[in-house]
């Protein structure tokens, strides 16, 4: 399933100027999407209709000076760096997290892939 999602992302995202990263775990996808606002809105709506997930939440939307993943149509993290446990997530940790806390796993991921 993840391979199908990633291949669509890598096929489509460059055309829309979208880059980002997708953390995949047994209990959640956590995705960072960066690019022009209209392209992100369109992609967000498209992903919302995808039945390979449910209960989609927008956790943070912000203007970013620089991209974190400029060279990745969609980087995947299948061995997710340490962050909230499944129990924390089920208890609402993501909704309660600050912007800094939400950015942290992606900053770690970007740091692990120098050169973007």
Ligand X SMILES: Cc1cc2nc3c(=O)[nH]c(=O)nc-3n(C[C@H](O)[C@H](O)[C@H](O)COP(=O)(O)O)c2cc1C
Which residues form the interface with ligand X (CB under 6 A)? 5, 8-9, 11-13, 22, 29, 31, 43, 46-47, 50, 52-53, 74
Instruction: Identify which of residues 37 and 100 has a Cβ nearer to ligand X in the complex.
Output: 37
| DSSP code at position 26 | S
Instruction: Identify which of residues 15 and 100 has a Cβ nearer to ligand X in the complex.
Output: 15
**CB of 50: closest distance to ligand X in angstroms?**
3
**CB of 55: closest distance to ligand X in angstroms?**
11
| DSSP code at position 63 | -
Among 18, 16, 5, smallest CA distance to 68 is for 18
Runs of H (alpha helix) within 1-116 = 2-12, 37-48, 86-90, 93-96, 99-111
């Amino acid at each position: 399933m993840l391979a199908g999602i990633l291949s669509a992302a890598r096929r489509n995202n460059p055309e829309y100027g979208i880059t980002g990263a997708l953390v995949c775990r047994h209990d959640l996808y956590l995705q960072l999407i960066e690019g022009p606002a209209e392209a992100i809105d369109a992609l967000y709506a498209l992903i919302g209709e995808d039945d390979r997930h449910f209960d989609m939440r927008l956790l943070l939307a912000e203007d970013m000076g620089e991209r974190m993943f400029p060279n990745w149509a969609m980087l995947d993290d299948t061995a997710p760096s340490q962050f909230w446990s499944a129990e924390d997530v089920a208890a609402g940790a993501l909704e309660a997290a600050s912007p800094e806390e939400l950015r942290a796993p992606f900053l770690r991921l970007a740091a692990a892939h120098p050169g973007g």
